[in-house]
Amino acid sequence: MGYIDLENLTKDYGQNRGVFDISLSIEQGETFGLVGINGAGKTTTIRQLMGFIKPDSGRASINGMDCQKSSAQIKRFVSYVPGEINFPADKTGETFLKRQLEKAGRGSWERCKEICERLQLDYTAGLKTMSKGMKQKTALAAAFSLDSDVLILDEPSTGLDPLMRDVFIDLIKEEKEMGHTIFLFSHIFEEIEQTCDRVAMIKDGRIIDQLVMEDLLHNKNKTYKLEFKTRESLQQFQALDYELADVNEDDLQVKVHINDKDINRLMDDLQHYDILFFKEIKTNFEDYFTNVFKEEVTNV
Ligand SMILES: Nc1ncnc2c1ncn2[C@@H]1O[C@H](COP(=O)(O)OP(=O)(O)OP(=O)(O)O)[C@@H](O)[C@H]1O
């Protein structure tokens, strides 16, 4: 049993809309991502985790507590950033943020001010006059300043510019260092790749794949791209015993799939050929995600 558990969670809105038979287990201290295209079921999953809607069947629990029956207790140690932010009638960012700290009874105004500074948020501004980005930053400052054991974040970096996204990623990393558990719902590949320990992919309300990020990013099976100076070199290289792909006879380019343990052999062999360039094609999460979704479409 994990710290956050979804067990056969199902919410059926009819016509194949909703989420179906979702089972995920997230360990304490883990950062777990749920990624999917629009309408895949991310928000429906979060709303059941937060106890806002009741599952038709199955169950969601955090630290052994049922998310429906014990939602009030769960909110005592969970911070939540919703996908659509609707602030209460507080006058300024500051009054809102201080009230959140007071209500939660944990976290500190000092930490909150520091986060606002890093996010370049003027918290003295009126909530009603804030831009979309400022509202998002206010919600993030509230969530990250509460010293919560669990953070549930629905598209948390929406409306942030690339520099602020970097600050957001740093904030997640700091939460991880504090041992907090993070469930991140996002479609921003970069932030998923940089923060998540594991990721599940959701499509049409069903989990279609899961991966350990470390296995993807530090895979010992690598791909290198080579360009030869002459056709003869390319042809001679093709005759060797390597797993090749995308051989391009016009550009004299080829990709080699190889395990780290064989890299010295490849280097030795390449010394005998005229080569224009040699570079590693890095595997990233975006490519992985695209392939998984392509395969799903092909298999339908
Ligand atoms: N209250 C509802 N009544 C009927 N259908 C709903 C309801 N809420 C969600 N849906 C449908 O369930 C599916 C999943 O919606 P959900 O909002 O969970 O997706 P999402 O992954 O969060 O999408 P997005 O990234 O666009 O926010 C969609 O087809 C949506 O239209």
pLDDT at 299: 58
ipTM: 0.96
Which one-letter DSSP state was computed for residue 100? H
Could you state, in order of their start, the residue ranges of all structural domains in the chain?
A: 4-216, 220-282
Residue of 42, 50, 186 to mutate, ligand 1, most atoms within 8 A of C-beta: 42
3-state secondary structure 259-297: EHHHHHHHHHHHCCCCEEEEEECCCCHHHHHHHHHHHHH
Could you tell me the distance, in angstroms and rounded to a whole number, from the CA of residue 188 to the centre of ligand 1?
Answer: 19
Alpha-carbon distances, residue 136 vs 87, 164, 190, 198, 290 (angstroms):
10, 11, 19, 25, 28
pLDDT at 212: 96
CB 162 within 8 A of CB 191: no
Alpha-carbon distances, residue 152 vs 28, 29, 43, 141 (angstroms):
13, 13, 11, 14
Residue of 17, 20, 48, 50 to mutate, ligand 1, most atoms within 8 A of C-beta: 17
Answer yes or no: is the C-beta of 41 below 6 A from any ligand 1 atom.
Answer: yes
Rounded mean pLDDT, 286-297? 82
Reported confidence tier of residue 142, pLDDT bands at 50, 70, 90: very high
CA nearest ligand 1 atom 23, residue: 39
CATH class as words, domain 4-216: alpha beta
Please list, in sequence order, all residues whose beta carbon lies within 8 angstroms of the beta carbon of residue 278, skipping any fewer than 6 positions away: 224, 225, 226, 227, 270
Rounded mean pLDDT, 16-25? 96
pTM of the model: 0.86
Q: Which residue has the tokens 């919410």?
A: 11
CATH class as words, domain 220-282: alpha beta
Answer yes or no: is the C-beta of 17 below 6 A from any ligand 1 atom.
Answer: yes
Establish whether domains 4-216 and 220-282 are of one fold.
no
Reported confidence tier of residue 191, pLDDT bands at 50, 70, 90: very high
SS3 28: coil
Answer yes or no: is the C-beta of 38 below 6 A from any ligand 1 atom.
Answer: yes
pLDDT, one tens digit per residue, over 36-84 is 988 899 999 999 999 999 999 999 999 999 999 999 999 999 999 998 8
Could you tell me the distance, in angstroms and rounded to a whole number, from the CA of residue 282 to the centre of ligand 1?
Answer: 34
Q: Is the per-residue pLDDT at 295 higher than 80?
A: no
Mean of pLDDT over the chain: 92
Q: Is the per-residue pLDDT at 156 higher than 80?
A: yes
Which residues, in sequence order, are bridge partners of residue 5? Answer: 25, 61
pLDDT at 294: 79
Among residues of the chain, what percentage have pLDDT more than 90? 80
- Total residues belonging to the chain: 300
Residue of 35, 43, 49, 293 to mutate, ligand 1, most atoms within 8 A of C-beta: 43
Question: How many C-beta atoms lie closer than 10 Å to residue 193's C-beta?
Answer: 19
Which one-letter DSSP state was computed for residue 16? T
Burial of 71 (0-12, 13-18, 19+ CB in 10 A): middle
SS3 29: coil
Reported confidence tier of residue 197, pLDDT bands at 50, 70, 90: very high
Q: What is the secondary structure of 197-229 as a DSSP string?
A: SEEEEEETTEEEEEEEHHHHHT-SEEEEEEEES
Answer yes or no: is the C-beta of 44 below 6 A from any ligand 1 atom.
Answer: yes
pLDDT at 25: 97
Could you tell me the distance, in angstroms and rounded to a whole number, from the CA of residue 40 to the centre of ligand 1?
Answer: 7
Could you tell me the distance, in angstroms and rounded to a whole number, from the CA of residue 65 to the centre of ligand 1?
Answer: 25
Token reading at 164: 């602020």
Q: Is the per-residue pLDDT at 297 higher than 80?
A: no
CA nearest ligand 1 atom 4, residue: 13
Alpha-carbon distances, residue 123 vs 81, 114, 118, 132, 255 (angstroms):
17, 11, 12, 14, 52
Q: Is the per-residue pLDDT at 300 higher than 80?
A: no
CB 19 within 8 A of CB 43: no
Rounded mean pLDDT, 206-235? 93
Higher pLDDT, 22 or 38: 22
Alpha-carbon distances, residue 276 vs 124, 185, 230, 233, 270 (angstroms):
58, 43, 9, 11, 11
Question: How many C-beta atoms lie closer than 10 Å to residue 271's C-beta?
Answer: 7
Residue of 13, 19, 48 to mutate, ligand 1, most atoms within 8 A of C-beta: 13
Answer yes or no: is the C-beta of 42 below 6 A from any ligand 1 atom.
Answer: yes
pLDDT, one tens digit per residue, over 80-99 is 999 888 887 768 999 999 99
Token reading at 261: 């343990």
Q: What is the secondary structure of 55-77 as a DSSP string?
A: -SEEEEEETTEETTTTHHHHTTT
CA nearest ligand 1 atom 6, residue: 13
Rounded mean pLDDT, 115-119? 97
Of ligand 1's listed atoms, the one at least distance from the Cα of 205 is 14
Rounded mean pLDDT, 160-171? 94
Backbone angles phi, psi at 212, to 5 degrees: -95, 120
